[in-house]
Amino acid sequence: MLSGDKSSELKEVFKLNHTYYFEYFDNEDQFLRSSQRLIEERHFIIVFGVLDRGLQEKHKLVFFNQHYFPVSEIKKSFKEGSYFAFRSDLFHGYSLRNRLKDLGFLEYSMDESLLLRENDYKLVANIFELLIEETEMPHSEIHSTIIVSYLNLLLYHMKRFYQRSMESRLDEISRLHQHFLNELHAFFDNERMCMSTFPSLKSLSKKLRCTPRFLNDVSVVVSGSTAQSHIDSFIIGISKQLLAETDLSVAEIAERLKFEQPQSLTRLFKRKTQITPLDFRISII
């Protein structure tokens, strides 16, 4: 029989040499000790955990990666649970990047992730059981394909859960979207005819205390367009105003709008309108 130290050592070797890993945990400290090395090794981690919320148990499915692993938020959050960690090479032959773009909730913060309803919890628990069983099977090509299939099933069920959650919270997210538009328009000083700072998605989401991807997804649900599209359209609208009402050069307008390079404004303008700023000015003369 292996000693405890030897067993732990073999588990660490397994984690670092396989594209996936599964483990149970009894508290957040155990989870942090076990998962931080995986994060450093560029694993994605899906946590299916019980939140520490007193007598009434609440279940969440939360996603972590090398760009988002908030240790301070994780502490005192999970009472117990399990997690499935995987590296991108598990998806060999698949377009992981496109899949992650399609599933915006993978970039949500812990606060933005949803509590699972009872029926949703049962469904997720069943899929996790399938994942657990498959991780114990001998490694093979079909084995990896089955794991990817289960993981896809889990992710797309979660997409449905989040879509349903957005629809049920339409009043709440509509208010957030309106706050976003108000903050966006506040970037432009009408008297001085210039931006205070460049209105990036990152800066706006920070002001609104949410993640950029959550703000983008909220905007799509409320308006049909991403938050980034609203930002781009706002900048183009101001650019057209300045081109039409002033004699400022394109470079001067770019400076007023806080672009680092005039070419950046020209590229954005042409991408959104199909013509250059100068061609636009000529067309309205």
Closest CA to 152 of 104, 92, 91: 91
Q: Tens digits of per-residue pLDDT, 180-194?
A: 999 999 999 988 889
**For the chain, which ranges sit under pLDDT 50?**
1-4, 6-17
Coil, helix or strand for 239?
Answer: helix
pLDDT at 2: 36
Return the pLDDT at 104: 84
Domains of the chain: 4-168 (no CATH), 171-283 (1.10.10.60)
Per-residue confidence (pLDDT) for residue 200, from 0 to 100: 95
pLDDT of residue 28: 84
The model's pTM is 0.82
Structure tokens at 191: 């008297």
Those residues whose C-beta lies under 8 Å from the C-beta of residue 79, and which sit 6 or more positions away, are: 27, 28, 49, 50, 51, 52, 57
Rounded to whole angstroms, the Cα distance separating 241 from 236 reads: 9
pLDDT value at position 16? 41
Cβ-count burial of 223 within 10 angstroms (0-12 exposed, 13-18 middle, 19+ buried)? middle
Q: What is d(CA 16, CA 109) in angstroms, rounded to the nearest whole number?
A: 26
Identify the pLDDT of residue 187.
94
Would you state the pLDDT for residue 182? Answer: 97
pLDDT value at position 96? Answer: 56
63-82 exposure pattern, b = at least 16 Cβ within 10 A, e = fewer: bbeeebbeeeebeebbbbbb
Is the torsion defined by CA of 269, 270, 276, 281 positive or negative? negative
Distance, in Å, from the CA atom of 107 to the CA atom of 214, rounded to the nearest integer, reads 8
Q: pLDDT tens digits, residue range 48-86?
A: 988 866 556 788 888 898 888 999 888 878 888 889 888
